[in-house]
Structure 1
């Protein structure tokens, strides 16, 4: 019971910190930045995949991104994504690809602003250095997405060859199907961990960021179920309100809630770290008081 009370106290303090740090406003900034950065990132994926001689790999990587989205949101966005990725473009060293790289990095910068506030930190580095760091994250993220996509593409092929040699393993085919979900989950955990550990200024241990990552994943899962249920029954409200912009607005609102939950996870970590710091300072004062008495 005391553990539950402690968790509720942490959540309550984190909620207060979220509001005090303008969490809702920062969440809207993150949502808009991510939406603006999304398709430039997909263009960059296509350009990099072209270096390896296959555009289908970028298409598969893009599908991986939307695997965790509710079907009602992901389907129209994926349709546009296919159109973007199948257009013929020049090599990676074109003006368009360079601009795509720059605009994609804006999404990382928005996460940095939100996390710095959540952890109660202030960025001291010059803007151009943090921008270069964000660009590096985007490039590494693009290669990671292509690598994960390669696993997804090659996995079924390898499994079919295994079944040709050992047909008795066919009952395990469901495990291979679940593998795609597992790869997406690993990707999400990795992205969240990197964001909390390295994107915000300063450095934190892995144990210090795990609570916020876990809370964010749980909230995202519930948000996906809830938002999908809502759209399945009330999607006409968006169409009647926003007309042809309904798809973009639905995606923006969904990203807004995801961003708010992401920031709340950061506030959870910030609350726990602050509480540990207070306890450590109290112990230090107690030790000093004992030393003075002796």
Structure 2
């Protein structure tokens, strides 16, 4: 069994269609079928059930997918380690971050990083499913909300950040120095839809206080939420430092929430079984310094 056949198997597993998998791999369908039969003969059990034109993974297929991904990742890690040994500060780093942090916080950092390490290719992916992207080996590391301890991950705390109320400078609330959750339920609020990390975090704090947050409008983008605030549609509850790097909306004012309030805890994560090369390590150090400075010097 070699990793080439594992790649063939995973392509079929993901598509559950031999012709589509063959097209992705740029090989013929008969060649792909033959390689899968070789794997099945080696394991002594079918990896897929073929019911007419329908392909379904067997229990053995599910197991092989789990361990096969680890084999492919180990191969990638080995190649990365040798490549970096020979090339120095080179390589590719794949990073997953929350959309609002990418849009409003991290771009200046990435510009500085690229200036100092021009030979490192940085690929940044915006997603609310940071942990899943890391666990599925789609990225090398991620920055997201703190999750439960997971032995498959290395989880490095980056700090905590309270949520504030963002209001239009012409709003009746603009002169307030602080505001409570009880008062917020009386005002027009625009937020992310339910199911988004930031929305669920805010909702839980309200629920813990026996309150319910009602929204006038919902959108999945922090940029669009701020546009709604700027247009006077409503106020929004967002992380305190959302506009610290890009104060592009002087018409928006941030008001602290007093008493029980939403707080997000951020962490940097990567796979516990991953090889972390020099390029990844350089970016990790920059990210940890950035967040440490931000939270220690608000």
Q: TM-score range by the shorter chain?
A: under 0.3
* Structure 1 or 2: more strand by fraction: 2
- Greater relative contact order structure (CA < 8 Å, 6+ sep): 1
* Structure 1 or 2: more helix by fraction: 1
Question: Is the radius of gyration larger for structure 1 or structure 2?
Answer: 2
Q: TM-score, normalised by structure 2?
A: 0.23
